[in-house]
Amino acid sequence: MHERNISMDLKSTLQSDLQDAMRHGDEIRKSTLRMALTSIKLAEVEKGAQMDETAYLTIIQKEIKARRESIADAERANRPDLIPPAEQEIVILQGYLPAAFSQEELETLAKATITEVGATSIREMGQVMKVLMPRLQGRASGDQASQVVRKLLQ
C-alpha cells in the first residue's frame, strides 16, 4: 500500500509507483499501473487537456469495474484461472481510491443533493446525478449513487 503525498496528484503517484514496481520486478503491479495510466492518457487525449483529480478517480473506478466484469466473464466461461489476477489488480487499484462512503453518508449526500436540485420524482434523476457525481470524488461508484437516488426518489 502506498501513502499518497499531499502535493502529488493521482497521475503522478501512479507514475511514481509504476517506476517503483519496475525497479522491484512487481509484474502484476507494473502491468496494472500501466493499464491505468494508459486509460488516463487516452482520456486526456480525447478531452484535449489534462484532467483533474476527480476525473482520475473516475478512471480508476472504471478500471476496477472492468476487472469485475472480467471476473464475471471468466466465471461464465468456466475459466477460474483468470480470476486471481483480476482480483489482485482490483486490490491494487482500490489502494488509489479514497475511503468509500458508508451507506448512511451516501444517502445523506444524495438527500442533500435532491433537496438542492428540488427533485420530486424519478424523472428528475438525471439532474440529481449530474450534481451528485462530482461530489462523490471517488468515494462511491456511479452505480451505488444511482441506486440510492432511485430509492430516494421513488
Q: How many percent of the chain have pLDDT more than 90?
A: 71
Query: Which of 62-76, 83-97, 134-148 is least confident?
Result: 134-148
Q: Model-level pTM?
A: 0.75
The DSSP line for 84-109 is HHHHHHHHHHHTTSPPPPPHHHHHHH
| Residue pointed to by grid coordinates 464475471 | 72
To the question of domain 103-153 being in CATH 3.40.50.720, the answer is no
Backbone φ/ψ region at 78: left (φ over 0), alpha (ψ -120 to 50), beta: left
* pLDDT tens string 87-98: 999 999 999 988
Mean pLDDT of 74-90: 96
Least-confidence region, from 42-46, 69-73, 77-81, 134-138: 134-138
C-alpha cell at 109: 449526500
Task: Enter the DSSP assignment of 49.
Answer: S
Residue spans per domain, the chain: 10-94, 103-153
pLDDT higher than 90, residue 14:
yes
State CA 96 to chain mean position distance: 9
CB–CB of 135/101 below 8 Å? Answer: no
Cα(10)–Cα(60) distance, rounded to whole angstroms? 10
Q: Which CATH class is domain 10-94?
A: mainly alpha
Q: Are domains 10-94 and 103-153 of this chain identical in fold? A: no
